[in-house]
């Protein structure tokens, strides 16, 4: 793949060309030259786009595609195309398929299906067999096949001894354990944040306490085992402070937050739109403000779209019966841009790779081209025409967003809308 990018502003604080408008020559997938003007004697394909900005390739630490078993929601091929059109060059795939990804063969299968795509897919293996929370899966075998972490997606491990043993066992091969932050005996059948809004709407509440108790328990276990823990998608003010204190103790813990938990409050559920039925729940303004503060001070390590396609049959039903989840890849950049500067947004979208053993890249001569292409200034109302996913359960539908993604250049491929 040979291509010449014309007049692109580089947003990469680790690059010598940060904030400069330059041409970028890419030959056989490698950045061959960066300069104010580059001639094109070999008649390579030229990319010239309005207000073009280029950054390191973006990363998402939590996506679900459905395949195998739920192809009507999303296939791996279409999911990776969606990720590319949304500016992502690397995604972590959750194990919530049917069957659950819990073996060497399962990891090998999804890796094989992701070959020859611009977007790199890194699979998570289930922490327990079948994702049932009862018996630990073959973690080491899955790590040998390429699993980057172990997690029963959105399912808490109720047995503390099982979590303790998993943290201890995975330490033998530097395995990363992920623990969903919810005490299910407290959350029970709650479908939204337990607050004045849930009372007003007559919906069962899922209290912040359920998340915070589980995090406190898992941090105590981590302190005991000395393992390696990642807590995905925290959502409450107290959760931020718990993890902040754990980091002060030098515990090996990281965490993420879903973009929609930074953007919406539980007041948004007043229309009973099931696209807002997500896990963890959308919380209060106080929670949102502290999550943003935690992101700014480094307590929260990364932001995820938590992209989770759900078919219409499981979303266009009464709120109590709808499945949890929203798609989020297509709206991720635009939503973050409404909250942060372009530089901060790019910083957020490129953080977290090393936690999963993925080497970061820079925009420099001699480096592999791993780039996201975008226009940070275009504003629009997000609607179904912006959705590439097979499923359309978008929490951001109708929201005013800022920033247009053009596509990616990665793995020796150019993918543009």
Same domain for 152 and 250, yes or no, is yes
Hey, what's the torsion of the CAs at 47, 48, 51, 56, to 10 degrees? Answer: 10
The verdict on 31 and 154 lying in the same domain is: no
pLDDT along the chain (417 residues), means of 10: 96 95 97 96 94 98 96 97 98 97 97 96 98 97 98 97 98 97 95 94 96 98 97 98 98 98 96 97 98 96 98 96 97 98 97 95 96 97 97 97 98 96
Does residue 342 sit in the same domain as residue 239?
Answer: yes
CA pair distance 222, 177, nearest whole angstrom: 10
Whether residue 36 sits in one domain with residue 21: yes
What is the pTM assigned to this prediction?
Answer: 0.96
Same domain, 15 and 95: no
Residues 79 and 185 in one domain: yes
Residue 189: what pLDDT?
A: 92
Q: Which long-range contacts (CB under 8 A, 24 or more apart) does 161-167 make?
A: 162/128, 162/133, 162/134, 162/136, 163/218, 163/221, 164/221, 164/224, 164/225, 165/136, 166/127, 166/136, 166/139, 166/227, 167/221, 167/222, 167/225, 167/227, 167/228, 167/229
- Considering its fold, how many domains does the chain have in total? 2
Same domain, 195 and 106: yes
Q: What secondary structure letter does DSSP report for 389? A: S
Q: Indicate whether 99 belongs to any domain.
A: yes
Domain assignment present for 349: yes
Q: Is residue 380 part of a domain?
A: yes
Segments forming the whole domain that contains residue 62:
57-356
Residue 395, in any domain of the structure:
no
Q: What's the rounded Cα separation, in Å, for the pair 370 and 410?
A: 4
Between CA 331 and CA 340, with CA 334 as vertex, the angle to 5 degrees is 130
Residue 407 · residue 80 · CB < 8 Å: no
Is residue 394, in this structure, part of any structural domain at all?
Answer: no
Indicate whether 19 belongs to any domain: yes
Q: Are residues 280 and 303 in the same domain?
A: yes
Query: CA 53 to CA 8: how far, in whole Å?
Result: 5
CATH of the domain at 23: 2.30.40.10
Q: What is the CATH number of the domain that holds 287?
A: 3.20.20.140
- Give me the pLDDT at residue 356, please: 98
Catalytic site includes residue 43: no
Find, among 219, 211, 214, 60, the residue nearest to 124 by Cα: 60
107 and 214 together in one domain: yes
Q: Is residue 37 part of a domain?
A: yes
CA pair distance 5, 257, nearest whole angstrom: 33
Residue that finishes a domain, picked among 334, 356, 378? 356
Q: Are 293 and 281 in the same domain?
A: yes
Distance CA 123, CA 125 (A): 6
Catalytic residue among 218, 287, 306, 311: 306
On whether residue 180 sits in a domain, the answer given is yes
Are 334 and 315 part of one and the same domain?
yes
Same domain, 45 and 159: no
């Amino acid at each position: 793949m040979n291509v010449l990018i014309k007049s692109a502003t580089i947003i990469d604080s680790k690059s010598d060309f940060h904030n400069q408008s330059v041409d970028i020559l890419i030959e056989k997938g490698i950045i061959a030259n960066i300069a104010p003007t580059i001639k094109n004697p070999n008649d390579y394909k030229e990319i010239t786009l309005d207000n073009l900005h280029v950054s390191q390739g973006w990363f998402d630490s939590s996506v679900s595609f459905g395949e195998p078993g739920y192809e009507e929601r999303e296939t791996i091929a279409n999911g990776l195309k969606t990720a590319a059109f949304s500016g992502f060059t690397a995604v972590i795939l959750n194990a919530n398929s049917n069957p659950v990804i819990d073996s060497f063969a399962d990891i090998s299968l999804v890796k094989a299906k992701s070959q020859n795509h611009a977007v790199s897919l890194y699979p998570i293996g289930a922490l327990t067999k079948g994702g049932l929370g009862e018996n630990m899966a073959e973690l080491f075998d899955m790590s040998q096949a390429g699993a980057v972490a172990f997690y029963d997606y959105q399912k808490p491990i109720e047995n503390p001894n099982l979590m303790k043993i998993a943290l201890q066992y995975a330490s033998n091969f530097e395995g990363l354990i992920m623990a969903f932050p919810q005490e299910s005996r407290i959350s029970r059948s709650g479908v939204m944040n337990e607050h004045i809004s849930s009372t007003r709407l007559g919906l069962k509440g899922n209290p912040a306490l359920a998340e915070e108790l589980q995090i406190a328990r898992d941090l105590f276990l981590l302190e005991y085992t000395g393992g390696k823990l990642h807590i995905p998608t925290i959502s409450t003010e107290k959760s931020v402070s718990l993890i902040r204190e754990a980091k002060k103790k030098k515990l090996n813990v990281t965490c993420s937050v879903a973009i929609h938990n930074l953007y919406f409050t539980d007041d948004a559920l007043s229309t009973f739109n099931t696209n807002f039925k997500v896990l963890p729940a959308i919380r209060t303004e106080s929670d949102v403000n502290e999550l943003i503060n935690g992101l700014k001070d480094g307590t929260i390590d990364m932001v995820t779209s938590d992209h989770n396609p759900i078919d219409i049959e499981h979303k266009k039903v009464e709120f109590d019966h709808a499945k949890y989840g929203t798609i989020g890849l297509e709206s991720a950049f635009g939503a973050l841009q409404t909250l942060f500067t372009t530089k901060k947004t790019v910083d957020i979208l490129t953080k977290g790779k090393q936690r999963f053993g993925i080497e970061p890249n820079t925009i420099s001569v001699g480096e592999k081209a791993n780039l996201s292409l975008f226009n940070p200034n275009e504003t629009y109302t997000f609607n179904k025409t912006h959705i590439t996913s097979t499923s359309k359960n978008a929490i951001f539908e109708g929201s005013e967003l800022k920033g247009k993604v053009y596509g990616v250049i990665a793995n020796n491929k150019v993918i543009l809308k």
